[in-house]
Structure 1
Amino acid sequence: MTSGGQDGRVHQLDVLRGFALFGILLVNAQLMAGPYTGFGGGPGASVADRVAAWLVTALVSTKFYLLFSFLFGYSFVLQERSAERAGAAFAPRHLRRVIALLGIGLAHAVLLYPGDILTLYAALALVLYGLRGLSPRAALRLAACLVLGLAAVLLAYGVLTVAYTAPLTPQAYAPYAADTVAAYRGGVGSVSAEHVRELPSAFGTALLYAPGKLAAFLAGLAAARVGLVERRGRDRAWLRRVVVRGLPVGLAGGVVSACCCAGRPLDSRWFPVGEAVAVLTGPALAASYACGLLLVLDA
């Protein structure tokens, strides 16, 4: 697999982007399958369904969004360079992309899935433009601060939740789930109305996790500034080191996160704690996946 073609594209990025989208599809399929995602399935879920939900949480959730966000930041730099080579102003090009992204995201949120991520990406793309002058080292430092800050907030909230609240059971959640299912079984108007009703909550959740996405953007920006994929994408020894070092940390964090977030064995109160662990260890597993895929493709 070559690093780039005559059109200036870095083909490893295209492969990684498709891989990231496949992982996002797995997570979204679970989220769209029913309203009991946080419980590992509904009250009558089979053992197979619960195991599948647990494994998706441990191995897939958050990791592929991180990889996709990293690639977004990397591509931002490549688009900037493309504009320079063409002698065109980058700002108008970037603004057009942001507006298109926002429009697609809003349509998707209303018509298909209220947890759409594209609207958040459109907003963060403007922030990334404002931070484009950061050096790679400064970008990585800011990214680390954002990740640590988000993890600290989630962990503090999780500790308070565990200490002072009662667990939410599938049975207690059932009335809300029944209303949601009834709306989704209606016509187009009923489904869209339910999506609109869920938008404030979805946007609130997106804003909470925005620092993690922006951190991945910045990591991608820093990596693109130094040509990381172009220089290291075929360096098998370096790729193996990333896999060997990142996989144990990422898998251990994924197991802890799944124990907290998938409804087994810990109850719903532990969800924020599991998310804090995922924020801290997810990058290690995402990097391991990406480097492992590049190793397989270049075998």
Structure 2
Amino acid sequence: MQPPLDTNTKSASTAGRSRLTDLDALRGFALLGIAVVNATYFASAFHGTGVADPGVTTTSDRAVSTLITLLFETKFYLLFSFLFGYSFTLQRLSAQRRGTRFTAPFLRRLAALFALGAAHAVLLFTGDILTTYAVLGLVLLAAGGLRVRTVATAACVLLVLTAAFYAGLGALQAAFGPPSTLDAQAVTAHAQHATALLAGDPAQVITARLEELPDTAALLLLFQAPCALAMFLLGLAAGKRDLLARPISASALRRVQLIGFPVGLAGAGLYTHATTHGTGTPGETFALAVDVLTAPALAAAYAATLLRLIHSRYGRRIAGALAPAGRMALSNYLTQSAVLAVVFTGYGFAAIGRLAPATVLALVLALYALQLSASARWMRTHAYGPLEWLLRAATHLTLPPWRAAAERTPV
């Protein structure tokens, strides 16, 4: 017979469940932003090229596209990256409690993530984030033993250096380059070629994805990876401080909102204007530098807003809606790509270039609502999402429980 829990043990258990629920809800929320952004790339091969999309013709089309760029692009993958770094600390702590090794299982986890990401990039979506996470996870593992101040400083320095790189590149463009490096005719021809392939048979879809890989890999290496790594490190620092072990004070969250929204939206506005109207110009490169520094502020403001809602009067209902989706984020992330691929490529309806931005957004919102509902039903009876179960099996080289248990540990 188990002895009764004392007050401290009960508090620790409650705090642990609260921390996991907050993390899961934030992760579930981030899934929405990632789906909204990724859908724009599925829906049109012209998105992000700087050339006018022939499918965006009305004022409402342009308004929706602008709002997505302003409020979603380059923001939600940062939140997801922060949570990845935070969860790393929970996984390591869980291994310590069990008295098991951590490094070898974590390396197997990264290898499995890389394999899933590679398949995702080739078959469904070249903008895959899993391969990047798998590679950067090696850095996270190496940094795991560093002090909190060292890790946080390294993250800030990395963001500043990345911004300085783009600012310097913009200065060189302004001083020695042409007014714009955008070849509209070549970009249009390339987008039309990609559209034709993506609307073709499955072999043509895969060919299109393979052709996109070099350009996408360069973008990930030069822009997304440094920012994701910085957020990994900030998440690691926050996890070491056990930031979410108990509710953060409302005053602290308000300060994050008061700083993050003005700074983040100002940078997002500059980024939106430059990437829409100044592609290939020094102005766009300078805007990327600003975005590197300000997008984390907006992501933090989003997170602070959600945390305030979670710990408000209706917080249990909000967390209950989001947390199950966050608990099976990997399954939901890849399911989003699979559904969007069926809708927009030759795997299914080949609707690429044929749906207005508002229709695409409505489709994503409907898909997300279905995922929230399906995730809640699944997690009531299962210990892990389907792909989370496979990932955990590869990590620990054992078959984890399939059905839900009373308590759970971080995956």
Normalising by structure 2, we get a TM-score of 0.68
- 1:80 pairs, out of 92, 101, 118, with 92
Give, in angstroms, the shift of residue 162 of structure 1: 4.6
- 2:56 pairs, out of 29, 45, 52, with 45
Report the secondary structure of 2:245's partner residue: helix
Residue number in structure 1 paired with 2:155? 143
Residue number in structure 2 paired with 1:131? 143
Does the alignment pair 1:229 with 2:240?
Answer: no
Does the alignment pair 1:34 with 2:44?
Answer: yes
Give, in angstroms, the shift of residue 204 of structure 1: 1.7
Say whether the 8 Å CA contact 2:265–2:298 is kept in structure 1.
yes
Query: Matches of 2:187 and 2:216 in 1, distance apart?
Result: 18
- Give the paired residue count: 293
- 1:15 pairs, out of 19, 25, 37, with 25
Report the aligned-residue RMSD: 1.8
Say whether the 8 Å CA contact 1:246–1:284 is kept in structure 2.
yes
Query: Matches of 1:230 and 1:185 in 2, distance apart?
Result: 48
Cα distance per residue 1:73-93 (max 9 Å; x no partner): 000000000001111100122
Query: Matches of 1:181 and 1:81 in 2, distance apart?
Result: 47
Residue number in structure 2 paired with 1:286? 299
Report the secondary structure of 1:57's partner residue: helix
Alignment-mate amino acid for residue 84 of structure 2? F
The structure whose residues are more often helix, as a share, is 1
Give, in angstroms, the shift of residue 267 of structure 1: 4.3
Alignment-mate amino acid for residue 218 of structure 1? L
Which consecutive unaligned segments of at least 5 residues does structure 1 have? none
Query: Matches of 1:166 and 1:133 in 2, distance apart?
Result: 47
Alignment-mate amino acid for residue 13 of structure 1? L
Which consecutive unaligned segments of at least 5 residues does structure 2 have? 1-13, 313-411
Report the secondary structure of 1:230's partner residue: coil
Give, in angstroms, the shift of residue 272 of structure 1: 2.3
Residue number in structure 2 paired with 1:154? 166
Percentage of identical aligned residues: 44
Alignment-mate amino acid for residue 205 of structure 1? L
Larger Rg: 2
Say whether the 8 Å CA contact 1:110–1:195 is kept in structure 2.
yes
Say whether the 8 Å CA contact 1:63–1:285 is kept in structure 2.
yes
Does the alignment pair 1:220 with 2:242?
Answer: no
Does the alignment pair 1:106 with 2:118?
Answer: yes
Residue number in structure 2 paired with 1:211? 226
Normalising by structure 1, we get a TM-score of 0.92
Query: Matches of 1:111 and 1:267 in 2, distance apart?
Result: 29
Give, in angstroms, the shift of residue 173 of structure 1: 2.0
Query: Matches of 1:40 and 1:252 in 2, distance apart?
Result: 24
Query: Matches of 2:157 and 2:167 in 1, distance apart?
Result: 15
Give, in angstroms, the shift of residue 12 of structure 1: 0.3
Residue number in structure 1 paired with 2:315? none
